[in-house]
Homo-oligomer: A and B are copies of this chain.
Amino acid sequence: MGNRSRTTSKTSLLTIEAIRDLEGATLSEISDHTGIPVSTLHTHLRTLREMEYVVREGDVYQLGMKLFHLGEQARWRDERYQIVKERAWNLSNRVGEEVSFAIKENDRMVILFDETTTPSDEGFQVGRYFDLHSSACGKATLAELPESRVDGFVDRYGLPAHTDNTITDRDALHEELETIRKRGYAVNAQEELEGLRAVAIAIEEPDGSVFGTLDISGPPYRLPEDEVVAERLRSTVADVEAALEDYEQG
């Protein structure tokens, strides 16, 4: 089991995440997956159920909508995200491509929203985590950070490969980031997911730090030249940055 201080709360939280991993599971399945004895789990699940973080459908435990409720609050915890959303929507409608907004939290990127013209495939990325080194949004963010922080990040997590195209070499990463800084946009050439290409640009706050990233993504065959895509993003990013500046004033 654990190595460091196993707080009781952590066990509850791990239980939640086990249910997420298994996309719903029975008591014994959760026990198998986590190694936590069923009797212990049972009491934790009682609490989680009482607090509505988990529900039971028959004998299957599922994540409760309390999590969704709280998640929505988290998603909009910075009201400036709404500013971005409106402009992302406009952009998406203008160019007919999928536009996503992501932020970095704890060394991973999270997609906060995702504007498309067709609602069908909308949002399959929303709420997903992406690695910093293998996503357009992540690389766009990294490119804005000092080398030392990039190195620190590599030291901690390494550069796990997700496809054949993933950058797995530290020097290659530094080169890539340099290229991104030069040309002003990051490209994900199917480094995270086979068949998904994306172009991303970082949005800067008035103080120069990275606020988040906008990207346009899709299957490679459908996207225009990177430079064309980047140009489309650029104007929206500039627009958002101006709006953030305005917001700052009052």
Contact = CB atoms under 8 A, between A and B. Distances in A.
Contact of A74 (B12, B64, B105): B64
Contacts of A20: 70, 73
User: Which size bracket describes the interface of A in this complex?
Assistant: 35 or more
Contact of A71 (B13, B67, B129): B67
Interface centre among A16, A75, A112 (most CB of B within 10 A): A75
A53 to B, nearest CB: 7
Given A53-B13, A63-B77, A77-B23, A70 B71 contact: yes
B119 A86 contact: yes
Contact of A73 (B13, B23, B106, B120): B23
Copies in the complex: 2
A127 interface: yes
Given A8-B9, A55-B106, A119-B89, A67 B62 contact: no
Given A68-B72, A68-B75, A71-B72, 15 more contacts: A7-B43, A8-B8, A10-B47, A12-B13, A13-B53, A20-B70, A52-B105, A64-B105, A65-B110, A67-B73, A68-B127, A69-B110, A69-B127, A69-B128, A86-B119
